Amino acid sequence: MGHLGTLLFLLGALGALADICNIPEVDSTLVQTLGQHLLPGMDQLSLEHLNPSLYVGLRLSSLEAGTKEDLYLHSLKLSYQQSLLGSASSDDNSDIQAKPSMGQLALYLLALRSNCEFVGGRKGDRLVSQLKRFLEDEKRAIGDHHKGHPHTSYYQYGLSILALCVHQKRVHDSVVGKLLYAVEHDHHPHQGHLSVDTMAMAGLAFTCLKRSHFNPDQRNRMTLAIRKVQEKILKAQTPEGHFGNVYSTPLALQLLVTSHMPGVELGIACLKATTALLASLQDEAVQNVLMISQLLPVLNQRSYVDLISPDCLAPRVMLEPAVETTSQSQVPEVIHVMLTVPSVWPPYTRSISVPAGSSLEDVLKKAQELGGFMYGTQTTLSGPYLTSVMGKEVGEREFWQLIRAPDTPLQQGIADYRPQDRETIELRLVIW
């Protein structure tokens, strides 16, 4: 009987280990290398290039960038306050600089919180009111019967609730209710699916609300919604181990580390995901600053929910600039990429020659130089976003999808994706 007791105790302990998501300690050199990708971006201090997500990622990581980091936060404060609260004259049409979106304002609030600041004072209160107004507008766009869509996305909707929550600002049950409904009815035939990233963000928002004891009347619904999000993320695990794809895995892990799932082997799924993630990092698949900013907290066993009470005194290691390596200059090999745009009239197809290692953006630039092709981009936190092709600007809920022929959507944007020789890239106008 004694032996059985010990056995049961051991099994219980193993079970407990298995239903929580532990991220193993990661090689510090790898973390340094990732962090180094953030440094050049930290010298770009104009509103268009400032990236609050970068600051949040760094503060929740095991790395620090010393005075650079302080200057960055200072610039964020100046630019965001000025553009969002600026004088009335900056509201007229002469103001060419776009105002930060709802999601960018939310990320700015997360950045403040990651420096252990609570948004406050007259200016802070106005920012909070703005974010609440944004959410109210989105709630109206979704509509009483949930037939509409937010102007931005459910991702930004969840992010905004999360940002208000970590600042201990409450939102009305009806606002939270829209996100709950979206998660609960994810298989709704007319609404499409929420991506793993969006689900994870919603789960992080609900987790924050629950931990803060906000919206008590919706507590049970939130518990069930978190469970649904966890299940959906686990179901999306690929044979290699990623949740969704390599780029949604960081947020998915952020959500899973905040929770446990009785009766489910969460520990194993997380271990598999971390192993897959580390393999992708070795292959240098994650170079995008925004992606690194979502990943660094996970590698430090942190998530955005930790911003409820961030630890600003936790020791962090100084980020050292990368050592420049001089590569032998060789005449680069030329590759040929077929660029095709069937969704315009007349359809466009042309083989474009570029040096090997060029990005898709280089291919588009070259095609434009050659004539007969035109494109336009918008700067976003993820990099240049393709907004127009052959003069066709995207309408509401449309986007120019990047596809590797015949039908594989790219998992990177035009600046990061590097086509192979003889590859065909299609730009396809689709509804999302």
Return residues touching ligand B12 (CB under 6 A): 101, 103-104, 107, 152-153, 155-156, 195, 197-198, 244-245, 247-248, 251, 288, 291, 294, 380-386, 399-402, 409-414, 416, 432
Helix axes 289-299, 28-36, angle to 10 degrees: 150
SS3 for 30-88 is HHHHHHHCCCHHHHCCCCCCCCHHHHHHHHCCCEECHHHHHHHHHHHHHHHHHHHHCCH
At closest approach, how far in Å is the CB of 150 from ligand B12? 9
Which of 104, 215 has the CB closer to ligand B12?
A: 104
At closest approach, how far in Å is the CB of 399 from ligand B12? 4
At closest approach, how far in Å is the CB of 28 from ligand B12? 24
At closest approach, how far in Å is the CB of 17 from ligand B12? 28
At closest approach, how far in Å is the CB of 89 from ligand B12? 25
> What is the number of the residue whose Cβ is closest to ligand B12?
413
Contacts 24+ apart (CB under 8 A), 225-231: 225/180, 225/183, 225/184, 226/259, 227/261, 228/183, 228/184, 228/186, 229/183, 229/199, 229/200, 229/202, 229/203, 229/255, 230/203, 230/255, 230/256, 230/259, 230/261, 230/264, 230/266
Which of 163, 270 has the CB closer to ligand B12?
A: 163
| Cross-strand pairs, 388 | 376, 393
| Angle, vertex CA 400, rays to CA 399 and CA 402, nearest 5 | 130
Which residue, 194, 282, 293, is CA-closest to 244?
A: 194
At closest approach, how far in Å is the CB of 5 from ligand B12? 46
Which of 333, 396 has the CB closer to ligand B12?
A: 396
DSSP state of 314: S
Which of 180, 415 has the CB closer to ligand B12?
A: 415
Which of 101, 218 has the CB closer to ligand B12?
A: 101
Which of 413, 419 has the CB closer to ligand B12?
A: 413
